[in-house]
Amino acid sequence: MAPHSTATTLLDFEGRCDHTSSMIRPRPTQPEAILPAHEQVYRTLRTRIMHGEIEPGETLTLRGVAAAHNVSMTPAREAVRRLVAEGALKMSQSGRVSTPELSNERIEELAALRALLEPELAARALPRAHAALIERMSVINTTVDQMIVKADSIGYVRANLEFHRLLYLRAQAPAMLALTETVWLQAGPTMRALYKRLRRPQGGEHHRAILACLRAGDEPGLRVAVRADVTNGLRMLLT
């Protein structure tokens, strides 16, 4: 594992909002302005963790979360509680809250889950993968390549997940997609750490193989391409 900062996160939960993609956030069922405070905090913090904007092992404080979102301690506590339940954050016996540092066994488990879930989502989406969708995915993949050139690890994670989620929404399998997003959420900080230290993160090449299979209507090839893409990055972390 690459070294990381253990400094406590007190502020800056909104300072890098350019990396927040509405496509990765749960689609709101009511206007954002009237969502309860704890839901707004939860969604914002969830997106930041999923995109790797918080380092593995970084400590958060309820006071810091509350101050960053201009809310009281109660909604901050509720948002953190939900994220702990989802495995996005962990809480020690002393009450210390931090993003998880994944063991090799946990990394292997998450890679295996992605290998099971995401090829199936892609296959289910294939019959509804029309030309406009494939073109949109190709545009997003151009962004992935740009993030690689810029060495922007957070932007890379965001664009990579956006590419996959856009396709998986066509699968019309909300329960399976929710499980997949939980895996993304738990892996977010670790994936960002990986891309930060790689000379050339992979993704664009795998995505081009996925796009080729979508254009050809090749379900077996699509399953293979998606599986290779989603497991490669996490397994590169194994030491």
| CATH number of residue 165's parent domain | 1.20.120.530
Domain ends where: 74, 98, 122?
98
For residue 163, give the nearest of 232, 196, 209, 197 by alpha carbon.
209
154-19-100-190 Cα dihedral, nearest 10 degrees: -20
Query: Furthest-apart CA pair in the chain: how many Å?
Result: 55
Domain coverage including residue 72:
17-98
For residue 144, give the nearest of 132, 135, 154, 134 by alpha carbon.
154
Indicate if 116 and 167 belong to the same structural domain.
yes
Domain ends where: 98, 116, 141?
98
How many whole angstroms separate alpha carbon 151 and alpha carbon 119?
28
The length of the chain is: 239
Indicate if 93 and 111 belong to the same structural domain.
no
Indicate if 166 and 217 belong to the same structural domain.
yes
- Rounded to two decimals, the pTM is 0.80
Question: Is residue 8 in a domain?
Answer: no
Q: Tell me the sheet residues that pair with 90.
A: 98
**Domain tally, the chain:** 2
Indicate if 136 and 204 belong to the same structural domain.
yes
Question: Are 210 and 226 contacting, i.e. CB atoms less than 8 angstroms apart?
Answer: yes
Copy the structure tokens of residue 170.
């066509």
pLDDT at 234: 67
Which tens digits make up the pLDDT trace of 163-188?
A: 999 999 999 999 999 999 999 999 98
Least confident of 34-38, 49-53, 82-86, 109-113: 34-38
How many whole angstroms separate alpha carbon 52 and alpha carbon 194?
10
Question: Is residue 3 in a domain?
Answer: no
Domain ends where: 79, 98, 117?
98
